[in-house]
Amino acid sequence: MGSSFLITLREGLEASLVISILLTYLAKTNRSDESRSVWLGTIAATIACLVIGIAFYVLVDGLNGNVEYAVEGTLALAAMLVLTQMIFWMRANARNMTADLRKKVETSSKRALVTIAFVAVAREGLETALFLLSAKTETASGSSVVIGGLIGLVVSIAIGVVIFKAGSRVNLKTFFNVTAVLLLMFAAGLAGKTVHEFRELLGLETGYLIESAWTIETGIWSAGGTFYDFMRGLFGWHANPERIRVITYFAYLLPVLAIYLKRPKAEKQLVS
C-alpha cells in the first residue's frame, strides 16, 4: 500500500500541476470558457489510461512459470528505467514548467488545449499503471495496491486544488525532493527484483551470489505482517534476499542517489 500511495501521490500531483497551470493561465487571460477543452483532454486521458491499465493487469495476472518470471522481470526493469528518467526529468524541468506551458497556451486553439491536457495526463497515467503493476507483482496483493493508489490519487487531487486556489505561492520543491528520494529507493527495489526474476528465469539456484544475504525468522522484519508488506512494497525489503539482489539494490541506489542529490550546475551558478 505504501508504494502505490507514494506513486499515485507523486504522479497524480504532477498531472494536477499541469492542469492547474493550464486552468490558472486561461483564467488570467480571460479565456475561462476554453477550460472545457482542458477537462475534455483530462477525462479522455484518464479513461484511456484506465482501459490500458486494466488490460495489462488482466494479461499479466495468472501467468506462471518462465513466462511469469520473464514478464515480471521486464516490468520491473521498465518501471525502474522510466521512474528514474521521470525523477531526473522533473528536477531538470520543474523550474521552467509554468513558463513553457504558458507559451503553448498562448498560441493554442481549443483542439490544441485538448491535446496538451491529454498528453500530460496520459504520460503520468501510463507511468502510474506501469509502476502499480510492478508494485502489485512485488507485494502480491492487488487489493492493497488499489487502496493505496486510490488514497494517493485523492490526496494528489486535493493538493492540486489547493495549488490552483493559491496560485504560485505554493513551493513544492521540498515535496518533490523528498518523494524523489523515496521513489529512488523504490526503484532500487525494482532493480533487485529484476535480477531476482531473471535469475529464476535462467534457473540459477546455487552459488555464492544466490545464497541468502541474511535470514530473519521472527519479529516485525520477518516475512508476513503489515509492516513487512509495507517495507517490501516501498523499499524492496526481504527477510531472506539472495546476495545478488542486495548487491544490485545498492549498486543502483548509491550512485543514482548521489547524482540526484548533487546540485545541478544551473543552481550553482544562480547561488554564486
Q: Alpha helix (H) ranges present in the chain? A: 2-28, 35-60, 65-93, 97-106, 110-139, 142-166, 173-201, 226-235, 243-261, 265-271
Alpha-carbon distance of 22 to 25, in angstroms, equals 5
The mean pLDDT value for 233-259 works out to 90
Give the whole-number percent of the chain exceeding pLDDT 70.
83
Q: Mind giving me the DSSP string for 175-229?
A: HHHHHHHHHHHHHHHHHHHHHHHHHHHTT---STTTSBS----SSTTSSSSHHHH
User: Residue 86's closest CA among 232, 236, 190, 197?
Assistant: 190
Query: At residue 271, does pLDDT exceed 70?
Result: no
Taking the C-alpha atoms of residue 190 and residue 253, their distance in angstroms, rounded to an integer, is 11
Residue 254 has pLDDT above 90, yes or no: yes
Phi, psi of 242 (to 5 degrees): -70, 155
The tens digit of pLDDT for each residue in 168-177 reads 555 567 777 8
**pLDDT tens digits, one per residue of 168-218:** 555 567 777 888 888 899 899 889 989 999 999 988 888 899 999 998 888
Decide if pLDDT at 88 tops 60: yes
Residue 62's pLDDT band (cuts 50, 70, 90): low
Is a pLDDT exceeding 70 seen at residue 245? Answer: yes
- Confidence (pLDDT) at 67: 84
pLDDT at 269 over 60: no
Cell numbers standing for residue 247: 548487491
Is 127:86 a contact under the CB 8 Å cutoff? Answer: yes
Which of 177, 183, 255, 202 has its CA nearest to residue 73?
202
Q: How confident is the model at residue 272 (pLDDT cuts 50, 70, 90)?
A: very low
Q: Report whether 160 contacts 170 (CB < 8 A).
A: no
Beta partners for residue 242, in sequence order: 212
Classify residue 12 by burial, with Cβ atoms within 10 Å: 0-12, 13-18, 19+: buried
Distance between CA atoms of 242 and 59, rounded to whole angstroms? 29
User: Per-residue pLDDT averaged across 131-153, rounded?
Assistant: 69
d(CA 225, CA 230): 9
**3 state SS of 242:** strand
Angle between helix axes 2-28 and 142-166 (nearest 10 degrees) is 30
